[in-house]
A and B are shown apart, each in its own frame.
Chain A
Amino acid sequence: MTTDRTNNDRFARLASAILEGEATPAELAELDALLLADASMRDEYLDLCRLHSELGFAAKSSRAASAAMDALETAMGSDETETSEAPRQKGTKASGKKKEVVGSSSPRPAPVTLQPTIGNFLTRHNVSVGMAAGLLFVVVVLTWAAVTYLPGMASKDEPADGDSNYVALLSRRDRVVWLDGTRPEANRSEVVHGQRLAFESGMVEIRYRTGATVVIEGPADFTVGKKAEGTEAQREDNAGFLKHGSLVARCDTRKSKGFAIHTPNAYVVDQGTEFGVDVDKRGAAEVVVLSGEVDLVREASEAGPEERMRLTKNQAASVEPESRAIKRRSTADVQLASAMRSRLKTIDGGSAKADLVTQLGILDLRFNRGINPATRRRWKAGDTYRLIFATSTGIDATSADIADYNAFIQNAANTSPLGLGSVKWKALVSTEAVDARDNTSTNVTVNGAGESFWLVDGSSLVADNYADLYGSDTRASKINISETGGATLATPNNWGHTWTGSDETGVEKANDALGAGDGTSVVGLCNFKTHDHWIDRFGGTAQTNKYSLYGVSEVLKVTERTTPEPSGETRGKAPQDKKSEVRRSRSEKDKE
């Protein structure tokens, strides 16, 4: 029966067309008839759809926060019924536009978004650009952690003291491939003292009852408590033991102060902070402090007395197994940065070109797998791109002079802690005299295919080119980072109303341009999770309201690095590093 099923070429072709978004209505009807007639084929179809979905999720495992989870977290945090209405009100322009096929055009399953936490994070912690490169692994992990945070979770929802025996809760696991039978029981999230979590790949988040949150990236071997599983140790409920792997810890509650991460050769004691720890299989540890302070301690032994070093924000240090000394690592330490970079490459696909720099230093070329979306080739010197944000403050739409809006945007950029003010910015708005696409030089007819657009977190792709920006791509509806690197003016009530005065092609919306005589204009919605109403959502909105504007940068350049980057890593290469090399060589082969 199975052989018959899989050999049914027609079924296979039709199912494939569905998965690739290429099926016509006639093909859908044909598949409908086939599936109705054959139960085993229905099973096969369901299995194929599951595989299709799992592959899509697996491929983007480091960007695990889907739109569904975003909405869910909001609902869980607020329990406001109006939140649950949001998804139902969205349009379906994308599917509606593709009349010839019944699915969407790409084989890509669930769009999975990277939330704007990298930008937020860097801003919040004043991490310099140089340091940021070295810390990107940690930041990516922290990003994953941050999107899992319910508002106020650590403080308001701190678990009440009770008689439960658990130390922490397994609050998220994403694409985890467990090792050594450490997979936790299904439907149980409690983690008890001494419980080991060993996994080959994926990410795990656990929340201690003290309020400390730890995000661990595989491959890793972690035990809740002070020592490795099976070893004698006094019970310690505010600690973990990282035998090897990478983690980021956040300790921002009163009870979590003193949270400790033990490693084979040293331990880190938190003093109210966020920090990252990376331990290789030899037991060598690197510690980076992202905020606050930690103490890095090497315990006294026969070989010598206790060594202790206080590390503060943006400081790093390492401990080697063969040496008792704790070595301070400067932020410019190439070896540390290089090691961190190699781990980031594992997450992002290992396709970045280290000899390129981006104007403003915000765009990280490692995202999108190192591919320039506009050229569909690897980034190279001379490539160009643009940045886009939605303002953190509002302006009314009563002026008919586009210069007023451009000034508002440039002023926002000038005050940006991200340093956006060193380039020119324009408002993506239309007045009756000037269309948004002309004001921002994004008119395909005049300006050509154009550049890709990225959020100012430097990692979130908004559009591949100008046509894509004004197309139905839902990515544009996630312009949810402001010039501050933090939140836009969006609120739960307005979903990010943003003045545009434009229709979906970037042209003045008839009678609804900014400053139009009837006192109303059109808004789009930034920060709206899944649909493409970023530019044209509500007409007839009173111009006296103060809403965000979208700001678009001038064309920015990718150039060769002017100072050569020293090379060399202190560590042996992890298996995944080798994978990255294989991936790189495959890609280069394809290019040929």
Chain B
Amino acid sequence: MDEYERKSLFRELTTRHQSQLYGYLYALVHNHDDTEDLLQSTSLVLWRKFDQFDRDTSFISWATRTAYFEACNFLRTRRTKQVSFSEELLDAFAEHYETPRDDSDEYHEALAGCVRSMPDDDRTLIDQAYGEGQSAGEIGEQLDRSRQSVSNSLRRIRQTLLHCIRRKLAKEGRS
């Protein structure tokens, strides 16, 4: 593979998987600012080590391993300053995520289908929370509902979507 192909492949893989990687990092550090930093530093490490990636293996598996170590290093250096999950739990996450699903295309298709099948009101809430980045409180203010009520709705919507996506992926034999 020449340099051009190498760059193109890397760009394509990181773009395709970056939302999945972001979700994994967010699970570990539960903070958007830190997650964004970590996604950035992880991507740079992945690029530096891209020669070591075997194209016949799962990119997301390789990437999440790297992300895990980046996150652990980050949390160790920040541990005294900020509340975070225990090291025991981080270890446990690593065990559970050694073989992440390489299903980004199927996942996106499933997610799009599931969102389409939701009632208009629910899709509006998703738009507001994720498209416009509004907090539950802000949405509540606009809809004349309490923050807790909006939060409950968002929780229900996420659960519904999760079940729907699992169903669709299971149909494709990917769950």
Residues of A within 8 A of B (CB): 6, 12-13, 16, 18-23, 25, 28-29, 32, 35-36, 39, 42-43, 45-60, 64, 66-69, 71-73, 75-76, 83-84, 87-88, 90, 92, 94-96, 102-111, 148, 150, 153, 157-160, 162, 169-178, 183, 186-190, 200-202, 207, 349, 368-369, 371, 376, 474, 529-531, 582-583, 586-587, 590
Contacts and interface: CB of A to CB of B under 8 A. Distances in A.
Given A157-B3, A173-B15, A175-B108, A587 B124 contact: yes
A32 B86 contact: yes
A107 B135 contact: yes
Contacts of A66: 18, 36, 39
Contacts of B107: 54
A102 B30 contact: yes
Given A51-B158, A53-B26, A69 B86 contact: no
B8 A169 contact: yes
Q: What are the 10 tightest A-B residue pairs by CB atom distance, in nearest-first order?
A: A53-B23, A108-B133, A50-B23, A49-B27, A57-B19, A59-B131, A59-B130, A169-B8, A68-B40, A25-B83
Interface in B118-142: 120-121, 123-124, 126-127, 129-136, 138, 141-142
A87 B33 contact: no
Given A20-B135, A51-B158, A76-B10, A87 B44 contact: yes
14 contacts: A19-B158, A20-B151, A32-B85, A52-B23, A54-B23, A56-B130, A72-B40, A90-B37, A103-B30, A103-B32, A109-B32, A148-B11, A175-B112, A586-B123
Contacts of B76: none
Contacts of B7: 76, 150, 153, 157
B135 A109 contact: no
Nearest to A16: B155
A172 B136 contact: no
Given A95-B34, A178-B109, A349-B131, A590 B142 contact: yes
Interface in B13-37: 13-16, 18-20, 22-24, 26-27, 30-37
Contact of B26 (A49, A106, A170, A186): A49
Contacts of A73: 11
A20 B151 CA distance: 8
B37 A171 contact: no
Contact of A107 (B47, B120, B133): B133
B171 interface: no
Contact of A72 (B14, B102, B138): B14
A368 B132 CA distance: 7
Contacts of A67: 36, 40
Interface of B: 2-5, 7-16, 18-20, 22-24, 26-27, 30-37, 39-44, 47-48, 55-56, 59, 81-86, 88-89, 92-93, 96-97, 102, 105, 107-109, 111-112, 115, 120-121, 123-124, 126-127, 129-136, 138, 141-143, 151, 154-155, 158-159, 161-163, 165
Nearest to B46: A72
A287 B137 CA distance: 45
A214 B144 CA distance: 46
A20 B136 contact: yes
Given A53-B20, A90-B37, A349 B127 contact: yes
A113 to B, nearest CB: 11
Contacts of A104: 31-33
B96 A106 contact: no
B158 A162 contact: no
A530 B34 CA distance: 10
B97 A46 contact: yes
Contacts of A174: 15
B166 to A, nearest CB: 8
Contacts of B111: 51, 54-55, 58
B23 A49 contact: yes
A198 to B, nearest CB: 13
Contacts of A587: 124
Contacts of B165: 51
A13 B33 contact: no
Nearest to A110: B22
Chain A CB within 10 Å, residue with most, of B30, B47, B120: B30
A46 B24 contact: yes
A37 to B, nearest CB: 10
Given A51-B165, A92-B33, A157-B3, A58 B44 contact: no
Given A47-B162, A88-B41, A187-B9, A12 B32 contact: no
A110 B36 CA distance: 6
Chain B CB within 10 Å, residue with most, of A12, A32, A68, A102: A68
Contact of A158 (B4, B59, B88): B4
Given A35-B92, A36-B88, A56-B130, A51 B23 contact: yes
A107 B130 CA distance: 7
A354 B23 CA distance: 37
A53 B27 CA distance: 10
A94 B39 CA distance: 17
Contacts of B26: 49, 52-53, 109
Given A32-B86, A47-B162, A13 B155 contact: yes
A395 to B, nearest CB: 31
A162 B32 contact: no
Nearest to B39: A68
B123 to A, nearest CB: 8
Given A28-B83, A66-B39, A107-B133, A159 B4 contact: yes
Given A59-B131, A95-B82, A107-B154, A102 B31 contact: yes
Contacts of B35: 109-110
Contact of A172 (B12, B85, B141): B12
B32 A111 contact: yes
B47 A75 contact: yes
A556 B30 CA distance: 39
Given A46-B24, A95-B33, A103-B31, A36 B89 contact: yes
Nearest to B82: A95
A110 B112 CA distance: 19
Contacts of A58: 19, 108, 111-112, 115, 130
B135 A106 contact: yes
A368 B134 CA distance: 11
B24 A50 contact: yes
A32 B27 contact: no
